[in-house]
Amino acid sequence: MQELTLSKPMCFFDLETTGIDISKDRIVEISILKVFPNGNKESKTWLVNPEMPIPPSSTEIHGISDEKVANEPTFKMLSSQVYNMIKDSDLAGFNSDRFDIPLLAEEMLRAGVDFDLKNRVAVDIQTIFHKKEERTLSAAYKFYCGQTLENAHSAEADTNATYEILKAQLERYPDLSKDMRELSEYTTRKKSVDFAGFIVLDKDNEECFSFGKHKGQKVNKILESEPGYFGWIQNADFPLYTKKVLTAIKLRKLNSKN
């Protein structure tokens, strides 16, 4: 099976959560498999107390109940360990661009860790799969690796399966680059400026809103013509990282006037 061409470590990770709302839901389990350029690996899995009730519908999916995490550390308590494991690495996951990375960023920012994707790339293995085959993680594992995924929706099993799938994809599709930056470009659905995709780059490579009444409008233009819109977003239920990005755009505009 193909090995990866890595210029820095690659952290494959998976989250089990209380739900799918990036702004409101919390992590209940996180598993990280760190693959080094020399082929060495290290892995770590943590159960996390989300400090909120886990809905029964979520417990049905991943098997993690309130009782199971009652005495586990909170994400804030674990944040420095998680950050230290991923800080020098590129990231990879299954549906990670749309869910795992945005939610991890929210948890990091809530814990006071200034997390972003500067100087690193992210590869979404699901996007490769969807561009090539169109199925689920279990089906991908069966299709690419010829094995049944035992313990699906266990973060550790899903994380290891994701790593094995990417290696099998590289072997199956000779046209796929083994370079992580090129894979990241291949798996990026759109040019998001924030993780959640509320702010994207337009054809002029300038930030614009991708939602609501100002969809398709340049952020700088709206901040100037409707300054109250910035305050509304800051006080509304948007992801913390989206608010951080919007603040940076506003400060950049103010500094350019000075």
Task: Report the chain (258 residues): mean pLDDT per 10 consecutive residues.
Answer: 88 96 95 96 98 96 96 98 96 93 95 88 91 81 90 90 94 92 82 87 90 93 93 93 93 76
pLDDT given at position 189: 66
Every domain of the chain and the residues it spans: 10-187, 199-257
What's the fold here for domain 10-187?
A: Nucleotidyltransferase; domain 5 (3.30.420)
Kindly state the tokens that stand for 131. 């561009």
pLDDT given at position 134: 55
Three-class SS state of 138: helix
pLDDT given at position 191: 78
pLDDT given at position 255: 77
Distance of CA 186 to the CA centre of its chain: 16
Q: Which long-range contacts (CB under 8 A, 24 or more apart) does 172-177 make?
A: 172/144, 173/128, 173/132, 176/128
List the strands of the sheet with 27-35, edge to edge.
Answer: 41-47, 27-35, 10-17, 90-93, 122-124
How far is 127 from 188, CA to CA, in rounded Å? 8
How far is 163 from 38, CA to CA, in rounded Å? 16
Kindly state the tokens that stand for 175. 């046209």
pLDDT given at position 152: 80
In 3D, which of 111, 186, 157 has the Cα closest to residue 12? 157
Q: Within a 13 Å sphere around the CA of 177, how many CA atoms are in the beta-carbon half?
A: 11
pLDDT given at position 187: 85
pLDDT given at position 258: 58
pLDDT given at position 159: 96
Tokens 């109250």 map to which residue? Answer: 228
